[in-house]
Amino acid sequence: MAFLFKQTTLTQLPKLPLSAQDVCTLHHTVEFRQQLLSAIASAQQRIYITALYLEHDEAGEEILQALFDAKQRCPSLDIKVLVDWHRAQRGRIGENKQHCNARWYAEQAIKHPVDVPVYGIPVQTRELFGVLHLKGFIVDQTVIYSGASINNVYLHKLDKYRFDRYHIIINAALADTLVDYINEQFLNNPAIFRLDQAAPSTRSIRKEIRHFREQLTHSQYRQPSTLQASSDELAISPIVGIGKRNLLNRVILDLIAGAQRSLFICTPYFNFPRSVLLAVNRALKRGVEIDIVIGDKTANDFYIPPEQPFRVIGALPYLYEMNLRRFSKRQRQYINNGQLRIHLWKDGDNTFHLKGLWSDQRYMLLTGNNLNPRAFRLDMENALLIHDPQAELQQQNQLEQKHILQHTKLLRHYRELEEVSAYPEQIKKLLTRLSRVRIDRMLNFML
């Protein structure tokens, strides 16, 4: 039954024709930054940037300045930057609110003679209950897609990087579809305000935000009906989702449920929703070979070395490792026979942020979705699903997977992962206390 449902969902998705030569996979964070800056510098028509945040640091300054320079060079250029409303108006964890990105946007707007609007998108009344997690930078007819936001580590501006996936897709219809959605759903909505100008408080627009979220739950990308790819050709489908049982969630589950030979799954936080976990377990029982790539707990962006001051947020990587240890223990028979391969990524002090999956090498999902309960229920997510029935991108996919696995270690037994008793004392006490009152379950759901 799951296979039939998978066929219905995936085959009924509108698909845009795609040429293999118009898809390029980048393997290094520095390449991503260079390509983004190059595209901005040569833009002639439009630049639309959607990201969780555009940070006030060296990389953020470089990107924002490039946008101002592009507008000054070509005054008719349509530039719009969209970031999460809540994230932009607070400092980074542990910082004072006075250092928030929104204040910096406003300062830069005053300093420059041209207009580069930065919009705050509130998908919930509180950040804890949902953020803008849409991905994709559209420059003219090109879509630069990555799970990365914009700051020093995501763009490898200084000494450290956060490893992600990076794809460049030249497709006018895809670019138009993404831009049209932004203009139709976000701009001119009474819940949307510019952050580079004076903006109202969240409290004063709570009613508008609730209506906005309700509107988003019924929204989808609208592709031109005249450009429908056949089931036998290389094609791409943009997908957007927010809230329970949305289309993107269903597509992810159907990709797993429909796999007959292989699955290759990337996630930065091992915290699968129950529905994903059940689908993975069923795939193992069907005999599907599964690779799961996840960051080592020390490569998690929330990890705090024991020698640094303790903060509660630093318990998250250990919580995810606990999840992984339980899963590995339950599925040890598949690990032992080589059907399930869990790869732990670690490269010095750098961090891991990859998402997405391949199903039978026939489908490839590019997404910012973390494959966790928060992504499945709270955040606004999108994805690009590539359908490759003739294996035209097979070599490119294999090279990407090889590069992803370059700094990984294969987990051969669940005991290779630390037990709670081996964790730093403060982490151990916190997790033990949380488990007693089952708050760890709530944290898994929220984070």
Q: Which residues are catalytic?
A: 133, 164, 353, 381
Q: Which of 352, 355, 357 is nearest to 369 (CA)?
A: 355
Q: Which of 365, 352, 411 is nearest to 265 (CA)?
A: 365
Helix, coil or strand: residue 27: coil
Find the largest Cα–Cα distance for the chain.
Answer: 64
Residues making up the chain, counted from first to last = 447
Q: How many CB atoms lie within 10 A of CB 173?
A: 17
67's CB contacts (< 8 A; 6+ apart) are: 40, 47, 49, 79, 81, 116
CA distance 447 to 225: 38
Specify whether the CB–CB gap between 140 and 46 falls below 8 A.
Answer: yes
> One-letter amino acid identity for 253?
L
> One-letter amino acid identity for 95?
E
CA distance 60 to 173: 29
The pair of structure tokens assigned to 38 is 């190059």
